[in-house]
Amino acid sequence: MKNYLSSFNHGLPSVRFAGIREPLRHRRIRTGIAPASLLFSLFLLSLLFLMLPCSSVYGKEEATSQTGFFLDTVITITLYGDEDGSAMDGCFDLLEEYEQMLSRTVEGSDVWKINHSDGEPTEVNEETVSLIETALQYSELSDGAFDITITPLVELWDVENKALLAASEAEADTNESENSNEAGDSDQSEDTDESADSAQPEGSSLIPSSEEIEEALSHINYQNVLVNGTTVTLSDPKAEIDLGGIAKGYIADRLEEYLLSCNIESALINLGGNVQTVGTKPDGSVWKIGIQEPFGGSYDIIAVIECSGESVVTSGTYERYFEVDGKIYHHILDPKTGYPTDNGLTSVTILADSSTQCDALSTTCFVLGLEEGLELIESLDQVEALFITEDETMYRTSGFPE
Ligand code: AMP
Ligand code: MG
């Protein structure tokens, strides 16, 4: 059933690429991939390697790692003691199941059904309801800074596709300038200036008009999401939900639960920067999770967190963005302004036991900003945070490891 691109199994964590399911065939890593998707996948892969344990000391138990692409994210799971591979298979089956349930873009998923219900009550899975209810609690907690009815803005800004486009254009520019350099053409600088001028109107057109933003904002209000038993109703028929700010954390928690039920006591789950540790490393030492310097190179780690069973989740502007006139437009949107959150933060990392909580809070705090975010985390038990601002200053909550 599974189509592995490659697999290894030896003493150190190895990488095994999982095949991509049919609905995501255009994202297949092995063949027929669009250059931009490939670039983006490589970018994501470089991010995930950052989150692998910094230490290379492992116990005697053998490690197996497998990488796949779910929920628009590169996922890597590393397990110790999964001799027959059944726990790994179980994890990837769960990922598939949750994507079919919670993805906004997979036709027939619970979220898709809610978004296409035209305001009619929609019967969904208990787990979907419970996750929506949890998400709504974070909306209440943050006075709407976290809001799953953000979809009209997500679609309007379409940051992910614009980021891919920008990456492929940058690649084309690099190739072009390399070719020009090789040719030693003295007209080169003139040509470059012309293409920069002609790119200007295209850049501006990437930014939605204020009318479009106003229209999208008029459908954003978490209070329009009504839950009754296992039925969800959107009281504004044009409202749509998106669980992108919380679903990966929820799935990480479910994977941890599943692995513990399989007696796997040592594992690392990385859902595109949402990291969940299971137990300790087999030799009893802690996992060391590196936090990337925003916009730094792949190996620029600015903090290392020691974990044994906790989760570490980061929301950052550098994860998905495009740039116009030197300004970054990223994927964490402010439901009050309709624009990508612009409050001087570049990343927020949350450390807690629950990955769902980490995921929801990293997005929430990012939108709330430094002061309110710090205040919120300090008011919660057993949760710590690291905020990084555009001037690269780090702000830790009182219990965040130094
Ligand atoms: P994360 O990377 O966990 O911070 O989540 C970002 C994703 O959450 C985006 O790609 C959107 O799908 C969604 N999102 C963006 N802004 C918000 C918001 N203000 N509240 C809830 N979800 C959001
Ligand atoms: Mg989040």
Bridge partner list, 303: 291
Q: Which one of the ligands is nearest to 272 CA?
A: 1
In sequence order, what DSSP letters do the residues of 13-46 get, joined into one string?
Answer: ----BPPPPGGGGGG-SSSS--HHHHHHHHHHHH
Q: How confident is the model at residue 20 (pLDDT cuts 50, 70, 90)?
A: very low
- Give the pLDDT confidence of 347-377 residue by residue, as tens digits: 999 999 999 999 999 999 999 999 999 999 9
Q: Of the ranges 243-252, 299-308, 321-330, which is most confident?
A: 243-252
Task: Report whether residue 333 contacts ligand 1, using a CB cutoff of 6 Å.
Answer: yes
pLDDT at 126: 98
Q: Can you give the pLDDT at residue 299?
A: 74
- Distance (Å, rounded) from C-alpha 15 to C-alpha 87? 16
Instruction: Kindly tell me the burial class for residue 180, based on how many C-beta atoms sit within 10 Å of its own C-beta (0-12, 13-18, 19 or more).
Output: middle
pLDDT of 6 strictly over 60: no
Mean pLDDT, rounded, for 40-63: 48
- pLDDT greater than 60 at residue 201: no
Nearest atom in ligand 1 to 335's CA: 19
Q: Which pLDDT score is estimated for 298?
A: 63
pLDDT at 165: 84
**Ligand 1: does its nearest atom lie under 6 Å from the Cβ of 368?**
no
The whole-number pLDDT of residue 352 equals 98
Q: What pLDDT, on a 0 to 100 scale, did the predictor assign at position 40?
A: 43
What pLDDT is stored for residue 256 in this prediction?
98
In this prediction, residue 37 has a pLDDT band, given cuts at 50, 70 and 90, of very low
Ligand 1 atom having least distance to the Cα of 273: 2
pLDDT: is 157 or 23 the higher one? Answer: 157
Atom of ligand 1 nearest to the CA of 315: 4
Ligand 1 lined by 321 (C-beta under 6 Å):
no
Give me the DSSP letters along 222-268: GGGEEEETTEEEESSTT-----TTTHHHHHHHHHHHHHHHTT--EEE
Q: Is the pLDDT of residue 73 over 60?
A: yes
Question: What's the average model confidence in pLDDT over 158-164?
Answer: 91
Phi, psi of 161 (to 5 degrees): -70, -35
CB 246 near ligand 1, within 6 Å = no
Rounded percentage of the chain residues whose pLDDT exceeds 70? 79
242 lines ligand 1 (CB under 6 A): yes
Whole-angstrom distance, CA of residue 118 vs CA of residue 385: 39
Q: Which of 219, 220, 315, 333 for a ligand 1 pocket mutation test, highest count of atoms within 8 Å of Cβ?
A: 333
- Cβ(146) to ligand 1 under 6 A? yes
Q: Which-ligand-closest: CA of 366? A: 1
How high is the pLDDT of residue 124? 98
Asked whether residue 199 carries a pLDDT value surpassing 50, the answer given is: no
User: Which of ligand 1's atoms lies nearest the C-alpha of 148?
Assistant: 21
